Amino acid sequence: MKIALVTDAWHPQVNGVVRTLDTVVGLLRDKGHEILVISPEQYRSIPAPGYSEIRLALTRARTIGRQIEQFGPDAVHLATEGPLGVQARRWCRRNGRPFTTAYHTQFPEYLARRTRLSPRVFWPYIRWFHGKSETIMVSTESIRNQLCGEKLTHVHHWSRGVDLENFRADAPSPAIYQQIERPIQIYVGRVAIEKNIEAFLDSDQPGTKVVVGDGPALPGLEARYPDVHFAGRKSGRELAGYYAGADVFVFPSRTDTFGLVIIEALACGTPVAAYPVTGPIDILTATSGVMDEDLNVAIRRALALHPGDCIAHSEKYSWEASASQFLGGLASQPLHRDCHMSRRMLAKAIFARV
């Protein structure tokens, strides 16, 4: 199958969207599929206001359209709602070309955190962007229900995976863990306003807080929280060691649609503390994490969970299954348009396709 993938999120950005797309593209290429990735580095671009890591591509619909036409894909997938996604959508609509989309980020909530406007201000744009797609790929049931509530009912389940060869409980801990007070509470991810990291750093549990990652909010947080250990960006086996050696992983975000870092932490045997919001409520079980509107309560209770239960739960997430679900969304009509489909019926529909 030949697939044209248009995305505003791509290397050198480091985030869950890029990691998901990169992993799935790699797996599909290994299986013989041809993938054309259309991304910001191919065009003149400007940095996103307040977030220079993200580049906003400056191009026209017909320019993207020429690339798509020359490639001759069987399917066109628009991964993001940014400038490239908008221009590709425009070309597809003008030329009667079907396309699929994905809802990777709680875009209205993300923009609300940055603009201080209500999320409701941004929902008309989300409905416009996704409304004419063949399917909207979503990672969790709660996101499916949310989009159905916005009359975006043509949804297809596309879950996420974890590299169980890399993220393991036996990954060696960083040397700094031998020098700091336990329990070690860790956050991994972008250091940005929408991640609500201050909620974690303001919690009053004893021990040491560790932040792994980089982003525009890092200098300000380093200045405000001198007792927190900021480790910077980590990857691979080194990142696995930061997870595995910690006592609890804290996920303070309220705007994610999934949270790859959650299942990476679980694969390393580290229980998760989070708010009861989209992402955690779709992933965590009573034996792998604790969710509470009081993050202090969630952290304290999560510390009592057993690493083996966390690892067992993470093994349910496979990148191979994720790639198959993505392919199924491209090759099929919408799985359903019934927002009230039961969980059992939804599961049967999903697995019948993959």
Q: Are 122 and 108 in contact (CB under 8 A)?
A: yes
Q: Positive or negative CA dihedral for 123, 89, 30, 326?
A: positive
Strands (E) in the chain, as ranges, are: 2-6, 34-38, 45-48, 51-57, 75-78, 100-102, 136-138, 155-157, 184-188, 208-212, 229-232, 248-251, 272-274, 289-291
Q: What is the pTM of this model?
A: 0.89
CA dihedral 25, 30, 35, 37 (to 10 degrees): 40
Tell me, what's the pLDDT at 331? 64
Taking the alpha carbons at both ends of the chain, their separation in whole angstroms is: 15
| Domains, the chain, ordered by start | 2-161+319-353 (3.40.50.2000), 175-314 (3.40.50.2000)
What pLDDT, on a 0 to 100 scale, did the predictor assign at position 335?
39
User: Each residue of 71-88: pLDDT tens digit?
Assistant: 999 999 999 999 999 999
Placement of tokens 């590299």 in the chain: 163
**Token pair belonging to 277:** 């919001």
**DSSP, residue by residue, 50-77:** TEEEEEEE---HHHHHHHHHHH--SEEE
Q: For residue 51, which phi and psi values (nearest 5 degrees)?
A: -150, 75
Strands 45-48 and 51-57 turn out to be antiparallel
pLDDT tens series, the chain, 354 aa:
999 999 999 999 889 999 999 999 999 999 999 999 999 999 998 887 766 777 889 999 999 999 999 999 999 999 999 999 999 999 999 999 999 999 998 888 888 887 889 999 999 999 999 999 999 999 999 999 999 999 999 999 999 999 999 999 999 999 999 999 999 999 999 999 999 999 999 999 999 999 999 999 999 999 999 999 999 999 999 999 999 999 999 999 998 999 999 999 999 999 999 999 999 999 999 999 999 999 999 999 999 999 999 999 999 999 999 999 999 999 644 434 445 444 344 444 433 333
Question: What does 169-191 look like in DSSP terms, one character per residue?
Answer: TTSPPPGGGGTSPSSEEEEES--
